Structure 1
Amino acid sequence: MIGLVDCNNFYVSCERVFNPKLERRPVGVLSNNDGCIIARSNEIKSLGVEMGTPAFQLPPDIRRQCVLLSSNYTLYGDMSRRVTNTLADFTPDVEIYSIDESFLGFDGFARDKLEEHCQRMRHVVRRNTGIPVSAGLSTSRTLAKVANKLAKKSAAYEGVCMLEPDAANTRHILERTPVEDLWGVARRTGARLADMGIHSAWELRQADPRCMRRQFSVVMERTVWELRGVDCIETDDIARPKQNIMTSRSFGRLTGYKTDLREAIRVHASRGAEKLRRQGSVARAIMVFLQTNRHRLDLAQYNPSLVVQLPRPTDDSRIIVNAAQRALDEMYLPGYAFMKVGVMMMDLADKATLQLDLLDTPQSDADRERNERLMAIMDKINREYGRDTVSVGKAKRDSAWKLRCQHRTPRYTTRWDELPIVTMR
């Protein structure tokens, strides 16, 4: 069985851990330099506040009810690491998918005890970190994603939902699930499927896999099999427009040399930036992670991750590579043999419709146009003459990005001078 564990309203939940007064209040987390709302509590959603709403456009009566906070990526990244470390106590197979989601492998676990096991896991995660999580279980990643959404939205499941691929209730759920809601199915793809008479996840499951491959791609063929309960999609196969982009690969051999890690991270960060440009997106932050081999019990284990906020929403390879390598500098410790690194583009926005924030790090129109031409030329050369014909060199060590975060809460878990203070009354 495969599980997908998702942190509920993650950014807001991180803030509530250290400020319980935010419970049951409408809370929004703002983008770089306090521009737009990028994370919402259930309470602020119920007020009709949409994702991406500029803070200054909130009506006064709504604004008075809300608590708006600056993005605190240092805190969110560290809390994500703590959640992941706790999940690893319940299965050795933990695969990070995003800052608030992880796929878990439960091979060898008794299926009739798995829901109880996951309920206990939810309790321990909440006890150890303060973060509420939901778990979806099935035999494939796609069905686990469907189950996770049910676990989160329906109180009847109490945070854990298991979908057996051939059960009657699974069919009933898939018949009510629009294809656009499936993992990896974009809106345009959903429209094409609708033209073919495929509107629900169940109808897609009944489709001919080979036909889906001819009409769309090998990923769509695999999605059909996934809906039938066959695990055949890797996380790297799925690009999630407007959400995040993960680029990672395992090494051919274990290495602890920082130069090897730096080279791999440079390549992955560059690939991620290329994918951003290809789908017309920009990223507000990136997450970098390192992994040792969890199956080598004879080796010391160290699996750090770090989120770095970018100076402005960008698809510029140079800025992204520089940020990723600064993250490596901060995380790296000698004495460990690593088998995998990855770079994730986070908090994506549509570049064509992005509303520029006057508070973002300044960039003139001339600089912006010059940078876009440079990236376009680099992509064109690499397409015509082969990948990495032109690549980003070594990042500068002395880059200093100072962002305006007027409403940022303390980085409680990573800064000695920002530790929470307890007062006795």
Structure 2
Amino acid sequence: MSMIGLVDCNSFYVSCERVFQPRLNGQAVGVLSNNDGCLIARSNEIKALGIEMGTPAFDIQHLVGQGRIRLLSSNYELYGDMSQRVQAVLGEFSSGVEPYSIDEMFVRFDGFEPGQLLEHARQLHHKVRQYTGIPVCVGVAPTRTLAKLANRAAKKIPAYGGVCVLRAESAETRALLKRLELGKLWGVGRRLAERLAVLGFRTGWDLAQADPKRIRRQFSVTVERTVLELRGISCIEMNDFHEPRQRIMTSRSFGKLTENVDEIREAIRQHGQRGAEKLRSQGSLARAVLVFLKTNPFRDDLPQYSPSLAVELSRPTDDSREILDAAGNALQRIYRRGYRYQKGGVMLLDLIDCHRQQLSLLDTSQSDADRQRSQKLMATMDELNKRMGRGTITLGTPSPGAAWHLRCDNLTQRYSTRWEELPAARAR
């Protein structure tokens, strides 16, 4: 029988930091968003203090000063690499790994007997921690929706020891579904839960007993699939959640206000390159590039100006050079002196499938050769940046200390991707 597992890394960002800084174990640790804005990850110890996700950093600085908590800047290069390492371990224990997010992966288990599968899942649970240092919870079931339920049980109920294997029609599964509020079921958001509650559906078990056809008529095929999944009928694939985006935006607030056009140009160049990488990763081409700038609307003492401009590309492309050229032209046209800018960004518009583009009748064999060279160059850049760390190969060198750089006052080392930041052992 085919079974599906969901492996969820516990307090992932904090766990990554603790792998290389064991002194953080047992401490109340939080990881902050871009520009050290608010909490996006919490250790169990910081949760116990009643500090909520999304709490602004300035609201809890007094706890930092008292030594009660430790706040770290987000280190996405480290987290991304550790995620890849967890996936590599999972690949040795399953017939396929499907990343769902940076800290969650679905894994396939085929041909296991019930007793064998539980032992195998426990071994996987142990080996991930042993090989990567990252603690995980493992939930296994016949469908992805039930695997989510099993994973939740593995995390919330200590008796499972971090591993839960469910069968579709078992008393154990029924008991868990009866205790599960609809709003906490995978794929059921708050608004949908409210609509279902009007019809008397309040728990996962209630929805599992619904007539799938009736649910489809009253809601959608997506909710119908959820009903079937709760009954053990697998009908949700990962492709259902990873449709190519219709537009790609890359933007961040600057570390501090700036009116320096060279620094802003560097920021736009970095955003454009990152957007182009995302474009290539989903197999799309862009027909237009939009660039925008924003001043701080809360600074009444400063003049306000928030322009944007879309530039049509000469042909659909995923070439970073062409995208950056268009973005640079747009920036030149919208930038004005005398304003202190807080944010800038690049949006790639009117995306099409790279395999379905319609070529112009005026294209020549030379332009076809140019396209092939472009594809090889971009593929080489992406591969090097994937293997050696983002930013290894870039178009243009950013100036150190520029205003547009993110504020990362508590950034740890990128221990696993930068030679110059490898952990150092010191003799006592």
| Unpaired stretches in structure 1, ≥5 consecutive residues | 239-245, 248-267, 275-282, 284-309, 330-339, 344-355, 359-363
* Counterpart position of 2:160: 157
TM-fit CA distance, 1:107: 1.3
CA-CA distance at 1:236 after TM superposition:
3.7
Change (3 A) 1:378 1:159: closer
For 1:405 and 1:210, the matched residues in 2 are separated by: 52
- 2: distance between equivalents of 1:378 and 1:196? 42
1:128 aligns with 2:131: yes
State the SS of the aligned residue for 1:325: helix
- Using structure 2 for the length normalisation, give the TM-score: 0.68
Q: Which residue of 1 aligns with 2:288?
A: none
For residue 139 of structure 1, report the CA deviation from its aligned partner. 0.2
The 5 Å alignment of 1:93-108 reads: 93-108=96-111
Match 2:140 to one of 137, 148, 170: 137
Instruction: Tell me: CA distance 1:235–1:53, structure 2 relative to 1, closer, same or farther (3 Å).
Output: same
1:271 matched to 2:246? The reply is yes
What amino acid is aligned across from residue 409 of structure 2 in structure 1? Q
Deviations 1:214-271 (A, max 9, x none): 2221110000000001110123434xxxxxxx44xxxxxxxxxxxxxxxxxxxx4x53
Counterpart mapping for 1:276-295 below 5 A:
none
**Cα displacement string for residues 177-222 of structure 1 (whole angstroms, at most 9, x for unaligned residues):** 0111111111110110111110000000111111111222111000
Given the alignment, which residue of 394, 397, 404 partners 2:395? 397
- From 94, 110, 114, the equivalent of 2:113 is 110
Partners of 2:271 and 2:44 in 1: how far apart?
32
Shift in alpha-carbon separation, 1:131–1:378, aligned structure 2, 3 A: closer
C-alpha displacement of 1:46? 1.1
The number of residue pairs the alignment matches comes to: 323
1:364-379 equivalences in 2 (<5 Å): 366-367=305-306
Structure 2 residues not aligned, in runs of 5+ = 255-267, 285-295, 311-329, 331-344, 359-374, 379-393, 399-403
Is it true that 1:226 corresponds to 2:165 in the alignment? no
Change (3 A) 1:11 1:204: same
Residue in 1 that maps onto 2:56: 54
What is the deviation of 1:399?
Answer: 7.8
Separation (CA, whole Å) in 1 of partners of 2:160 and 2:270: 43
Q: How does 1:25-424 map to 2 (within 5 A)?
A: 25-58=27-60, 60-61=62-63, 64=66, 65-238=68-241, 246-247=242-243, 268=244, 270-271=245-246, 273=248, 311-312=252-253, 322-326=273-277, 366-367=305-306, 397-398=395-396, 400=398, 402-424=405-427
Please report how far the alpha carbon of residue 115 of structure 1 lies from its aligned counterpart in structure 2 after TM superposition: 1.3
SS state of the match for residue 23, structure 2?
helix
CA contact (8 A) 2:19 2:134 kept: yes
Letter in 2 for 1:223: T
Q: Secondary structure at the match of 2:187?
A: coil
1:366, distance to aligned residue in structure 2 (A): 3.2
**Runs of 4+ residues deviating >4 angstroms:** 317-321, 326-329, 340-343, 368-371
Secondary structure at the aligned position of 2:246 is classed as: helix
Structure 1 position 406, deviation (Å): 1.1
CA separation of 1:131/1:194 partners in 2, compared to 1, >3 Å: closer, same or farther? same
Are the aligned partners of 2:95 and 2:110 in contact in 1 as well (CA < 8 Å)?
Answer: no
- TM-score under structure 1 normalisation? 0.68
Aligned to 2:327: none
Shift in Å, 1:370: 6.3
Percent of aligned positions that are identical: 50
For 1:169, the aligned partner's letter is E
1:163 Cα shift? 1.2
Residues 284-335 of structure 1: CA deviation (Å, up to 9, x unaligned): xxxxxxxxxxxxxxxxxxxxxxxxxx6349xxx9987631434799xxxxxx
| Structure 1 contact 38–51 (Cα < 8 Å) conserved | yes
Q: Residue type of the partner of 1:88?
A: G
Contact 2:138-2:162 within 8 A present in 1 as well: yes
Aligned with 2:18 (options 11, 16, 19): 16
For the aligned residue pairs, the C-alpha RMSD in angstroms reads 3.5
The one-character-per-residue Cα deviations of 1:122-163 (angstroms, maximum 9, x if unpaired) are: 111111110001100100000000100110111110110011
1:61 is displaced (CA, Å) by 4.2
